[in-house]
Chain A
Amino acid sequence: GQQVMQIPQYQHVQEGEDFTTYCNSSTTLSNIQWYKQRPGGHPVFLIQLVKSGEVKKQKRLTFQFGEAKKNSSLHITATQTTDVGTYFCAPNTDKLIFGTGTRLQVFP
């Protein structure tokens, strides 16, 4: 079945530093969604990428979909303590399958 791996599994950064998480698939994806889950919270939809090479920005967050549509990344510029949480990529074919997630910790 569809599987995606995310790296790194954990990332600790100092506030103000940048952060990137990568999502890799062995198969071509039709689209991919990104979610954020705060500690003790529920996943919250961030964005969906559909086109090859697509780049979308939300304030300090930049999302990319690879040219081959087998990988995706989320980059956060100048992290803040409010960015703490686990970030999941999730390909959506006929159903949403979540990746392993990257847990981000930001130290003030």
Chain B
Amino acid sequence: DAGVIQSPRHEVTEMGQEVTLRCKPISGHDYLFWYRQTMMRGLELLIYFNNNVPIDDSGMPEDRFSAKMPNASFSTLKIQPSEPRDSAVYFCASSLHRLQGYTFGSGTRLTVV
């Protein structure tokens, strides 16, 4: 298995632009999670899905952030419009069951200038 695959690895964009981050979870994993990591706030859970359905989006910062999971093998996290304070590393993770260990992707390092 190739693990959790995220793209792009790096993204540099100008303030106000739309940014879309992509994630392919491990096949057969029913849970998918989006995390954001910054020096100041550490690892924050943004949203998670179970069987493609959003279960908890209480960590999504504001309306500029949206996430979708149109099928079991693909999810997106969109920021529109992006702001410099959105600069962070965004991780996608998947797990077979909610209470088991998570497998993380390599992350997308987002820089908004």
Instruction: Tell me which residues across on chain A come within 8 A of B7, comparing CB atoms.
Output: none
Instruction: Tell me which residues across on chain B come within 8 A of A33, comparing CB atoms.
Output: 101-102
The majority secondary structure among interface residues of chain B is: strand
Binding site for A on B (CB under 8 A): 33, 35, 42-43, 45, 48, 56, 91, 93, 98-107
- Is A59 an interface residue when CB atoms closer than 8 A count as contact? no
Instruction: Tell me which residues across on chain B come within 8 A of A96, comparing CB atoms.
Output: 33, 45, 102
CB pair B42–A101 under 8 Å, yes or no, is yes
CB pair B100–A95 under 8 Å, yes or no, is no
A101→B48 CA distance, assembly (Å): 22
- With A92-B99, A94-B98: A42-B104 Cβ-Cβ less than 8 Å: yes
State the 8 A-B residue pairs at the shortest beta-carbon distance, nearest first: A45-B101, A98-B43, A42-B104, A43-B104, A42-B107, A42-B106, A92-B99, A95-B45
**What's the nearest-Cβ distance from chain B to residue A16, in Å?**
29
CB-defined A-B contacts under 8 Å, sample of 30: A31-B99, A33-B101, A41-B106, A42-B105, A42-B106, A42-B107, A43-B91, A43-B93, A43-B102, A44-B104, A45-B101, A45-B102, A45-B103, A47-B101, A48-B100, A88-B43, A92-B98, A92-B99, A94-B56, A94-B98, A95-B33, A95-B45, A95-B98, A96-B33, A96-B45, A98-B42, A98-B43, A100-B42, A101-B42, A101-B43
